[in-house]
Structure 1
Amino acid sequence: MFTITFVGFGCAYTFSSFMESMQAEFGASRGAISLVFSLAGFLYFGLGVVTGPLADRWGVRKLIALGVCLIGAGFILASRAQSILHVYAAYSLGVGLGVGCVYVPALGVVQRWFVRRRGFASGLAVSGIGVGTLVMPPIALWLISTLSWRSAYLVIGVAAVLMGLGAAVMMVDRPAKLGLVPDGEGVAAPLASTAGHGLTVRQAIRTRRFLGLYVACLLSAIGVFVPFVHLIPYALEREVSGANAVILLGMIGVGSTAGRFFLGGVADRVGRNLFLVATNAGMAASLGIWSLGEGFFSLSVFALLFGVFYGGWVAVLPAVVADNFGPQHVAGIIGALYTSVAIGTLLGPAAAGFLFDIQHSYSVPILISAGTNALAAVIAWATVRSKKPMERSQEV
């Protein structure tokens, strides 16, 4: 799972390293370039509503193998693009569909393997996203400066396929297939009797708790992915060097990795529902710091803090879904919930780019990003105060 998230998101989050090269190559506006990432993000979160149930039914290996091949093909074809429309077709579709086949199915596997320390396990599994954000953008920048942006995309695409396929063959859907139960204890009962318990996707999406989480995730996602596209251009405009601007994105990766490793365990102790609220509030506060940032130091503070809370949010959200709706259909329910993240990802980075084209300033997009996360924290808090759907169903 670590390698899968490293490949999928580490490669995807190199995007801002290529923005200036593609603007110069195709003469496109910042909004038009940002839309490439937004469309990809919409697909890789939105597709989970399809690939999650497919993983519950058919297993994850074939889906993940298909996904990493699509990711690689997206980068390779984008390296041959002759217009921005070709980039939309290659990168947005290839990477978007590829990560969509990989991410939600892999998350569902982790939830079935762990119960007591589910938050910590989720954090470890998705820490590949943080490490990928730290490692891949500098590598991409080095490849661009050494070769060209087209050759950089080609190298990244080939590497994604080779690493991803190696990880796909090691995925095991359920602990019962190895004679285990969740948390690796004891000997599992026969496979047919260890499917777990929980609400179906249809039952889950009809609950008020799902609706509240859906709205909170949508609002949060509007702002969450803006830094991954616009932090480097923002820093360059404030005369931060190109190398240091890429370091800032890497600092989000450092903070994100720390958040996934350490905060997932904290969430297990203090309560994963309340911890989700805290991560939304933390992202709102850190985005507020970004709105005041001018130099490398202040932007570094933002990047590290934002990364910590973003990492905690990504780590705890799948565990919250499993806690509230049960593990049996968790991949399908995560997929349904993540359509909200897809919509937010489609709106946020692209809107920030188009607003910049109009105002020649990032002030309004950053403040909107902070505000939507603050509102998400309020809605999440109101949502998790009620009884869980699983608890109510047991009373009937």
Structure 2
Amino acid sequence: MRHISTELKYARPAAHIFYGWAVVASAFVVSLLGFGVAYTFSSFFPPLQQTFAATRGGISFVFALSGFLYFSLGAVSGPLADRFGPRWVTFAGMLCVGVGMLLTSQAQALWQVYVTYGIGIGVGMGFSYTPSLAAVQRWFVRRRGFASGMAVAGIGIGTLLFPPLATWLIGVVGWRATYGILGIVTILIGPAAALLLVHSPQRRGLLPDGDQEPEVSMPGSAEAKAPTNAEDGLTLGQALHTNAFWLLYAASFASSLGLFIPFAHLPAYAHDHGFSAGFGALLISLIGIGSTGGRFLLGHGADRLGLRLSLQGMFLGMTVMLLWWLAAMSAWALVIFALLFGLCYGGFVALLPALTALCFGGRRISSIMGVIFTGVGVGTLLGPGLAGTMYDLSHSYTVPILVSAVANLVAVLCIWRLKTPTQQKPAA
């Protein structure tokens, strides 16, 4: 009798408000705070360069080191989240981000900024981003693109809000106090948000998308073959033996060579062309506005158009906009670049995890995403730093921008060759 009661309870709708949306909200806050404070780096670029008498290349590698770590360490935090759950891994990561900011405010030499910001923020985001975002993929199947877009929209909104806030605070209280304020805000909010994360709906007796118990279908039918359980899928070892994995990895690496150059160098580029520091910070915020639209709108549309085709379009869009940047010397041209580059960047960040989950299932999605993100990490390490070094040598951004555009075209070709194992279902 107890067995029948349990089965009936499990067959009811999960809840009036599906808990998966709480997981999405948690990932949203984690990405908003983590990437929001990380992407204030361009606002700190001039005072750090002046305080430590450093070159643009030397300062750029601080951001590059941080980006390398917060993407590459997903290969460590992903398996930990698969095994122990994402909650405490993300909790520790957000705490590390806040402490890193506080320690950066006390740095007395550039090498200390490398340690406190480059390593501190990098490790913190490395243990926050992949586990929280991978958790979202398990909670949704039919609406995975939309849910993923909602989760990473925090990055876009953080990019919109934090750089101008940091620029204003630096002008009022100085760069050291500004880092301290950002660190305290992160410590107070980030770890609390991480506590909402739950590994998968199965851990709560639920199904993805808030569905009821699926009906039993005849063996061999299309419905029987359709993936309905977020715990199904490949292990990391199995994924490593597929062409799909390496095409996703190559596309992520290639695109990331140029993806983060604007975040580190666009304000400096604007300054070189006679614009103020405030306008440079505004351009970073406009990337945030564009990327927020990309995450919300394109993530939802991709559930209908198809994840593979949509991601291919994002890489092509970034290629076009990087070529546009080469000729962008007026205010209006830089504004268009920031908005449309942000739109495509936001779509890429939203769609890559969703396409990964579509290809490999949810069984070890944190581990698989973590390894794929190492490609993003290597690209992030090389791109901004080398762009700064090339500028120091040539006093021009032409070569790094051209290389970035070509690299994104390579990413387009990789996704074009990618074959997904299942058909994308339209959103209900």
TM-score under structure 2 length normalisation: 0.88
Q: Tell me if the contact between 2:55 and 2:392 (Cα under 8 Å) persists in the aligned partners.
A: yes
Aligned equivalent of 1:336, options 365, 371, 380 = 371
Q: Which of the numbers 113, 118, 132 marks the counterpart of 1:106?
A: 132
8 A contact 1:282–1:309 mirrored in 2: yes
Measured in 2, the distance between the counterparts of 1:387 and 1:335 equals 19
The answer for the alignment partner of 1:394 in structure 2 is none
User: What secondary structure is seen at the aligned counterpart in 2 of 1:116?
Assistant: coil
1:134-189 deviation digits (Å, cap 9, x = unpaired): 00001100110000100100100111111102201122221233332100122699
Matched, 1:164 2:190: yes
Q: Which residue of 1 aligns with 2:353?
A: 318
C-alpha displacement of 1:83: 0.8
Q: Verify the 8 A CA contact 2:208 2:230 in the aligned structure 1.
A: no
Residue 373 (structure 1) aligned to one of 405, 408, 416: 408
**Counterpart of 1:210?**
245
In the TM superposition, residue 61 of structure 1 has moved relative to its aligned partner by 1.3
RMSD: 1.5
Question: 1:267-317 deviations in whole A, cap 9, x for unaligned?
Answer: 111110111111100111111111110021100000000000000000000
1:76 aligns to 2:102 (yes or no)? yes
Classify 1:330/1:251 alpha carbon distance in 2 versus 1 (closer, same or farther; 3 Å).
same
Other-structure match for 1:29: 55
Paired residues for 1:279-298 under 5 Å: 279-298=314-333
CA distance in 1, matches of 2:231, 2:303: 20
Q: Which runs of 5 or more structure 2 residues have no equivalent in the other structure?
A: 1-26, 216-227, 424-428
Amino acid at match of 2:253: L
Task: Provide the secondary structure at the position in 2 that maps to 1:239.
Answer: coil
The match for 1:274 is 309
**Cα pair 1:240 1:295 within 8 Å, conserved:** no
Instruction: Classify the secondary structure of the residue corresponding to 1:199.
Output: coil
- Matching residue of 2:23: none
Partner of 1:140: 166
Q: What is the identity, as a one-letter code, of the residue corresponding to 1:381? A: W
Q: Percent identity among equivalent residues?
A: 47
Q: Distance in 2 between matches of 1:82 and 1:287?
A: 36
The answer on whether the counterparts of 2:230 and 2:361 sit within 8 Å (CA) in structure 1 is no
CA contact (8 A) 2:139 2:230 kept: no
Paired residue type of 1:146:
V
Q: CA deviation at 1:194?
A: 6.0
- Quick one: distance in 2 between partners of 1:5 and 1:24? 30
* 1:217-254 CA-partner distances (Å, limit 9, x unpaired): 11100000100000010011111122111111100000
Deviations 1:90-113 (A, max 9, x none): 101110000000000011110000
Whether the 8 Å contact between 2:307 and 2:355 is mirrored in structure 1 is yes
Separation (CA, whole Å) in 2 of partners of 1:138 and 1:29? 23
Name the structure 1 match of 2:22: none
Q: Indicate yes or no: 2:380 matched with 1:354.
A: no
- Counterparts of 2:377 and 2:351, CA distance in 1: 18
TM-score, structure 1 as length reference: 0.95
1:192-231 aligned within 5 A: 196-231=231-266
Greater fraction of residues in helix? 1
1:387 CA drift (Å): 5.2
- How many residue pairs get aligned? The number is 385
- Contact 1:179/1:188, CA 8 A, preserved across alignment: no
C-alpha distance in 1 between matches for 2:86 and 2:166: 29
Match of 1:39 in 2: 65
**Cα separation, 1, equivalents of 2:310 and 2:333:** 26
1:241 to 2:241 alignment = no
Contact conserved, 2:78 with 2:370, CA < 8 A, in 1? Answer: yes
Contact kept, 8 Å, 2:138 with 2:230, in 1: the verdict is: no
Name whichever of 33-42 and 362-371 sits farther off: 362-371
Give distance in 1, aligned partners of 2:85 and 2:204.
Answer: 14
* Structure label with greater radius of gyration: 2
User: Aligned equivalents of 2:170 and 2:340: distance in 1?
Assistant: 28
Q: Against the structure 1 CA distance between its residues 339 and 117, is the aligned structure 2 distance closer, same or farther, given a 3 Å change threshold?
A: same
Distance between the aligned counterparts of 2:345 and 2:172, measured in 1?
32
In the TM superposition, 1:292-311 aligns within 5 A as 292-311=327-346
**Aligned AA (2:78):** G
**1:27–1:208 CA distance, 2 compared to 1 (3 A):** same
Q: 1:195 to 1:138 in 2, by over 3 A?
A: closer
Amino acid at match of 2:102: I
Distance (whole Å) between structure 2 residues aligned to residue 282 and residue 93 of structure 1: 32
| Match status 1:182 vs 2:183 | no
Query: C-alpha separation between the residues in 1 aligned to 2:213 and 2:200?
Result: 13
Which amino acid is the alignment partner of residue 106 of structure 1?
Answer: S
- CA change 1:180–1:343 in 2 (3 A) is same
Q: Please tell me whether residue 18 in structure 1 is matched to residue 53 in structure 2.
A: no
Shift of 1:365: 1.1
Give distance in 1, aligned partners of 2:203 and 2:420: 33
Q: 1:381: Cα distance to partner?
A: 0.8
Conserved in 2, the CA contact under 8 Å of 1:179 and 1:187?
no
